A and B are shown apart, each in its own frame.
Chain A
Amino acid sequence: MVKVEFLGPISQEVLELEAKTLADVATQLQNIETIAPWLSKCAVAVNDQMVSDLSMILKSGDKISILPPVCGG
């Protein structure tokens, strides 16, 4: 199981998913009605490292963070 956490304004509790790669996570999140609209504008981190490869292999216990558009300052 991997944990998916949604940061900032996305109102969604932590999810626990079965996933072997980041692509598996993508498929499952695309099927959640309240989450799907956010995905096109969100960046992704695995274990607090920003990632850009959908084929990334995940292991049990990994933490995936979903980061919506930002505005500091």
Chain B
Amino acid sequence: MELYHGPLDIEAIFSKWLKEEKNSNYGAYIPFVGTIRAEDGIEALSFDIYEPILEQWFQGWVKRAEELGAKVKMAHSIGDVPVHTSSYISAVFSPKRRVALELIDEFVEDFKANAPIWKYDVKDGKRIYAEDRSTPMSGSGLLA
């Protein structure tokens, strides 16, 4: 797992991961890239991350992928990421395509629901929590 301040250099990360697994004998490499769209007058999105729990969440997926003979990777931004740049890339490598196609779907959806990352719209230089697009994590409401 890799965290970077500001937008991701997607081409560099994509190439680095490809090189890392060049001789691993995986037949499939499926990346997912998240790019910031210009909408609702935003200048950027901004992100807070709680790294200890993100790392645990990610290690859970590393194990799950290993059981299927596959490998997962991800990188995410911290702080401001301007429109038309990217804040997120994840990927699955697997021996054959079917495992990678299914795993990238589950991995990205679970990321959205349970990775401890908070998103803010940036408008006129101000950060506004994207509450309406956020999802309570599993087990929420314990203290209510």
Q: What does the 1/0 interface line of B66-109 toward A look like (CB < 8 Å)?
A: 00000000001000000000011000000000000000000010
A residues in contact (CB < 8 Å) with B: 7-9, 22, 25-26, 29-30, 39-45, 48-52, 54, 65-73
Residues of B in contact (CB 8 Å), total 36
Give 5 nearest A-B pairs by CB, closest first: A8-B118, A72-B117, A69-B134, A9-B129, A43-B137
User: Using Cβ atoms and an 8 Å threshold, which residues of chain A touch B48?
Assistant: 7-9
Q: Do A72 and B115 have beta carbons less than 8 Å apart?
A: yes
User: Using Cβ atoms and an 8 Å threshold, which residues of chain B touch A66?
Assistant: 143
* Chain A CB within 8 A of B61 CB: no
Contact (A29, B143) CB under 8 Å given A67-B137, A71-B118: yes
CA distance A54 to B139 in the complex (A): 11
